[in-house]
């Protein structure tokens, strides 16, 4: 049986990134921790945003982590899927709006 490129066990090793660059790793984790503290947005809202972004950037580790985090925060499967759709809509809209660039280039070159 083939091994997956993304090994779910690797998520538990994330903290080890400081091993090869302690200063930058620690700064990242300090920043990361600060971002997810309660603020104008609740930790629950931030978890839902993180889940949607995880799908947009296609990070399987993040998807696993924020699905688990969302469940722990009481986020329902319907809320999760709605967030994923919101992220997908923005991503597809961003792709389609670049069609204007293509249209402009086509019009310029076909004159």
Q: What is the largest CA-CA distance in the chain?
A: 59
Residue 48 has a CB neighbour count (10 Å cut-off) of 23
pLDDT tens-digit map of 8-65: 888 889 999 999 999 999 999 999 999 999 999 999 999 999 999 999 999 999 999 9
Q: Ramachandran region of residue 37, left (φ > 0), alpha (ψ -120 to 50) or beta?
A: beta
Identify which of 54, 71, 78 has the alpha carbon closest to the alpha carbon of residue 6.
Answer: 54
pLDDT of residue 94 exceeding 80: yes
What is the reported pLDDT for 45?
A: 97
What is the reported pLDDT for 100?
A: 94
Helices (H), 1-111: 22-35, 43-56, 60-72, 77-97, 99-109
What is the reported pLDDT for 64?
A: 95
What is the reported pLDDT for 2?
A: 55
């Amino acid at each position: 049986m083939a091994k997956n490129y993304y090994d779910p066990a690797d998520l538990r090793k994330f903290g080890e990134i400081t091993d090869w660059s302690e200063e930058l790793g620690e700064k990242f984790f300090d920043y990361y921790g600060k971002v997810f503290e309660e603020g104008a947005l609740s930790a629950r809202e931030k978890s839902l945003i993180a889940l949607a972004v995880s799908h947009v950037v296609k990070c399987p580790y993040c998807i696993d982590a924020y699905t688990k985090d969302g469940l722990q925060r009481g986020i329902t499967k319907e809320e999760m899927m709605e967030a994923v759709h919101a992220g997908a809509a923005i991503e597809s809209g961003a792709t389609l709006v670049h069609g204007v660039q293509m249209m402009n280039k086509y019009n310029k070159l076909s004159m």
